[in-house]
Chains A and B, each alone.
Chain A
Amino acid sequence: MFAPEFDYYRAGSVAEARELLDAHPDSTVLAGGHSLIPILKLRLAAPAALIDIGRIDALRGIASDGSTIRIGALTTHAEIAASDLLKGKAAALPEAAGQIGDPAVRNRGTIGGNVAHADPASDLPAVLACLGAAFVIEGADGERRVSAPDFFQGLMTTAVGEDEILTGVELSEAGDGEASAYSKFAHPASRYAVIGTAAKVGLSDGVCTSARVVVGGLVPAPVRAGAVEQALVGQAVTTELIAEASRKVGDSLDDDDLLGDVYASAGYRKASAHAWVRGALSAAVARAG
Chain B
Amino acid sequence: MSASTFGSGIRRREDPRLITGSASYTDDIVLPGMLHAAMLRSPYAHARIESIDTAAAAAASGVVAVYTGTDTEGEIAPAPCAWLLPDSGLKIADYHCIAKDTVRYVGDIVAVVVAESRYEAYDALDLIEVDYDPLDAVVEPKQSAAEGAPQLHDEIEGNQAFHWTVTGGGDIGEAFENADVVVKETIVQQRLIPNAMETRAALASYTPATGELTLWNTTQNPHIVRFLCSLVAGVPEDRLRVIAPEVGGGFGSKIAVYPADFVTVFCSKKLGAPVKWAETRSENYQATTHGRDHVQEIELAATKDGKIVGLRATVWAGMGAYLSTAAPGIPTILHGLMLSGVYDIPAIHEDVYGLYTNTTPVEAYRGAGRPEATFMVERLVDLLAAEIGLDPVEVRRRNFIPKFDDGHDVVTGLTYDSGNYDGALAKLLDKAGYDQLRAEQAAAREQGRHIGLGLSTYVEICGLGPSQVAGAIGFQGGLWESAILRFHPSGKVHVMIGASPHGQGEETTFAQIVAGELGVSPDDVKVIHGDTDNTPMGWGTYGSRTTAVGGAALALAARKIRDKAKVIAAHLLEAAVEDMEYDDGKFFVKGSPDSSKTIQDIALMANVAWNMPEGVEAGLEATSFYDPPNFVFPYGAHLAVVEIDPETGHVTLVRYVAVDDCGPQINPVIVEGQVHGGIVQGIGQALWEEGVYDEDGQLLTGTMLDYALPRADRLPNIEVHSTVTPSPHHPLGVKGIGEAGTIASTAAVYNAVIDALQPFGVEGVNMPLTPERVWRSIQEAQGRN
Contact = CB atoms under 8 A, between A and B. Distances in A.
Interface stretch (B97-105, B200-208, B698-706): B698-706
Contacts of A68: none
Contacts of A272: 647-649, 771, 775
B776 interface: yes
Contact of A264 (B119, B709, B771): B771
B123 A4 contact: yes
Given A5-B123, A188-B714, A272-B649, A262 B706 contact: yes
B701 A262 contact: yes
A1 B703 CA distance: 12
A170 B692 CA distance: 42
Nearest to A265: B772
Contacts of A4: 123, 126
B280 A268 contact: no
Interface residues of A, number: 20
Nearest to B693: A262
Residues of B in contact with A, size category: 20 to 34
Contacts of A185: 648, 771
A275 interface: yes
Given A43-B126, A264-B772, A189 B282 contact: no
A2 B771 contact: no
Contacts of A192: 705
A194 to B, nearest CB: 9
A2 B120 CA distance: 9
Given A272-B647, A275-B647, A188 B708 contact: yes
Interface in B78-123: 118-119, 122-123
A62 B775 CA distance: 42
Nearest to B690: A262
B399 interface: no
Interface string A19-50: 00000000000000000000000110000000
B723 interface: no
B468 interface: no
Nearest to A195: B648
B692 A262 contact: yes
A280 to B, nearest CB: 14
A188 to B, nearest CB: 4
Interface string B752-785: 0000000000000000001110011000000000
B434 interface: no
The residue in B645, B649, B771 that gathers the most chain A C-beta atoms within 10 A of its C-beta is B771
Contacts of A268: 649, 771-772, 775-776
Contacts of A187: 708
Given A268-B772, A272-B771, A2 B118 contact: yes
B705 A189 contact: yes
B648 A275 contact: yes
Contacts of B648: 185, 272, 275
Contacts of B770: 263-264
Contacts of B706: 189-190, 262-263
Closest 6 CB pairs of A and B: A188-B708, A189-B708, A268-B772, A2-B122, A190-B705, A272-B648
Interface of A: 1-2, 4-5, 42-43, 185, 187-190, 192, 262-265, 268, 271-272, 275
17 contacts: A1-B122, A2-B118, A4-B126, A42-B282, A43-B122, A185-B648, A188-B708, A188-B714, A189-B705, A189-B706, A190-B705, A262-B692, A263-B770, A263-B772, A272-B771, A275-B647, A275-B648
Given A5-B123, A268-B772, 19 more contacts: A1-B282, A2-B118, A2-B119, A4-B123, A4-B126, A42-B282, A187-B708, A188-B711, A188-B714, A190-B705, A190-B706, A262-B701, A262-B706, A264-B770, A264-B772, A265-B772, A271-B775, A275-B645, A275-B648
